[in-house]
Amino acid sequence: MSIEEQQEEVRKVVSAYFDKHAIESININLLVAEHEHIIYIGTSLLCTKWNVGYPGGDFVKAIVENDLSGAFARADHINQHCIRFYVMLMYNVEMPTSLIQQL
C-alpha cells in the first residue's frame, strides 16, 4: 500500500470519528471548509502518531507530544476550539489493521 493510500485510510478513520464525536467536543458551528480543515489536521495528527508518511507541523507535533501550551500557542482560529477533539481522537482511535500490516 502506498503512502497516499495509507493516508487515505487514516483520513477515513478520522472522518468517521468526526461524524460520531465532533458535536460533543467542538463547541462552534462549522462551515464546510472548517470541517475539512479539522479532518485534515486530525489525519495529520494520527499519521504523525503512527509514523505514516511525513510528520505534521508544529501544532500537530505539540498535540502528539502532549504539549498543551505549545498546542494553544500554535493553534489557528479553528483549532483553538478543536484541541479536545484532537486529544480524544488520538487516545480513542486505534490504528487500522490494514496499516499495521504495512509497518
Let me know if residue 77 belongs to a domain: yes
DSSP 79: G
Per-residue confidence (pLDDT) for residue 46, from 0 to 100: 97
Let me know if residue 32 belongs to a domain: yes
pLDDT digits 0-9 by tens, 10-42: 999 999 999 998 877 776 676 667 889 999 999
99 versus 53: the higher-pLDDT residue is 53
Cα–Cα distance for residue pair 82/101, rounded to 1 Å: 31
Domain count, the chain: 1
71 with 48: CB under 8 angstroms?
no
**Residue found under cell 490504528:** 95
Lookup: cell for 94 = 486505534
Per-residue confidence (pLDDT) for residue 40, from 0 to 100: 96
Sign of CA dihedral 87, 92, 95, 98: negative
Let me know if residue 103 belongs to a domain: no
Let me know if residue 62 belongs to a domain: yes
Let me know if residue 38 belongs to a domain: yes
Q: What's the whole-model pTM score? A: 0.90
Length of the chain: 103
pLDDT digits 0-9 by tens, 40-91: 999 999 999 999 988 999 999 999 999 999 999 999 989 998 999 999 999 9
Amino acid (1-letter code) at residue 85: F
Per-residue confidence (pLDDT) for residue 96, from 0 to 100: 87
96 versus 73: the higher-pLDDT residue is 73
86 with 21: CB under 8 angstroms?
no
Domain that holds residue 74: 3-97
39 with 55: CB under 8 angstroms?
no
